[in-house]
A = this chain, B = another copy of it.
Amino acid sequence: MKFTLQATDTHSMARAGELTTAHGTIQTPMFMPVGTAGTVKSVHQRELKDDIHAQIILGNTYHLYLRPGLEILEKAGGLHAFMNWSGPILTDSGGFQVYSLSDRRKIREEGVSFSSHIDGSKHFFSPENVMDIQRTIGADIIMAFDECTHYPCDHRHAKRSMEMTHRWLKRCIARFNSTENKYGYEQVLFPIIQGSTFSDLRKQSAEFIAGCDLPGNAIGGLSVGEPAEDMYKITREVCSILPASKPRYLMGVGTPANILECIALGIDQFDCVMPTRNARNGMLFTGEGIVNIRNEKWKEVFSEVDPDGKCFVDHYYNRAYLRHLTISKEILAAQIATLHNLSFYIRLVTEARERILSGTFAGWKNEMVKKLVRRI
């Protein structure tokens, strides 16, 4: 895997780059649609490619491991073949889901035992087997197995958790290095910085992770309920430590405004369920602000879903129709809103990239953020 830094903004830390994977080159900053169980909910793979212009998608190890399971994924030749997605795939490590979804889970030094949310069956994730699982899923980018602390979290717990995440990382690296690429193409491992909202811990973690010299670096444990200012502060501090020559991935972030602010702080890579999950509840992100399409005010508004939108749905359908579908719980409502939101997110980071390359990012970002947070 190769990362080329193409430009750094003069008025911020924003960067434009190119990340080359076995399944294609990704232009950064990038946004990765979340494809939890081998599908970006309500979106066809050809729409991801042709209408949303997704460059990479994210799969969830926890979900894929439980269903369809590794045996089927391996027989299919990996997730790319199983779902017929030819672009790059990043998988999270399953850690976050184990903590947040599983009713009963027990974290020990060895790993995490948990019960399936589907049938209650018992399972065990360790740094080692999570490497094996992600290799079998066939991810281009494999994430280290970490512990993600809740917010708020006291310093003592955050420190202890971070230290275990570091020890787990060493085990991840050892296992990753002693195993082969599963399907003949390159797979790489990204480590994850933890340390909650404590600057001293984050600094220590960033230095440890940077020292591992892996092909990219991720920041976990943010966007878990802390104030946005804390997220920005930690991101800024961590980015000042991480090497400029490698991609920086801020996990699970966020709103369109969060993403622009974090691009300005030096982040290259994002994922978030917000554009897809909120779409299914009728929330549309636009360049003029946030639309709740369920609102009575759209009842007789027959103008386009988003006149400035770049996806066919923005011009094919009107707001009153989309409101009707949403209120009526029609599947097409989720389809339209998801296509719109993902297209909007990806267009936003693409424009950020263009602005960085042309030297007009910082001013544009400040203007955009004001509009993005409005409720219209």
Contact B331 A68 (CB under 8 A): no
A75 touches B300 (CB 8 A): yes
Q: Given A41-B330, A321-B82, are A75 and B335 also a contact pair (CB < 8 Å)?
A: no
The contact of A37 among B76, B316, B328, by CB within 8 Å, is B328
Number of identical protomers: 2
- Interface segment, A43-51, A137-145, A284-292? A43-51
Which of B41, B313, B321, B325 makes the CB contact (< 8 A) with A332? B41
A67 at the interface (CB under 8 A from B): yes
Nearest B residue to A118 via CB reads: B328
Lowest 3 A-B CB distances belong to which pairs?
Answer: A42-B331, A68-B324, A39-B332
Is A364 in the interface zone, CB < 8 Å from B?
no
Residue-wise interface mask of A (321-340) relative to B, using a CB-CB cutoff of 8 A (1 in contact, 0 not): 10011011011101110000
What is the CA–CA distance of A254 and B163 in the complex, to the nearest angstrom? 64
Q: Within the complex, what minimum Cβ distance (angstroms) separates A337 from chain B?
A: 12
Known: A38-B324, A328-B37, A331-B331. A316 touches B75 (CB 8 A): no
- The verdict on A320 contacting chain B, using a C-beta distance below 8 Å, is yes
Is A76 a contact of B330 with CB atoms below 8 Å? no
- Which residue of chain B lies nearest to A39 when distances are taken between CB atoms in the complex? B332
**A212 at the binding interface (Cβ < 8 Å):** no
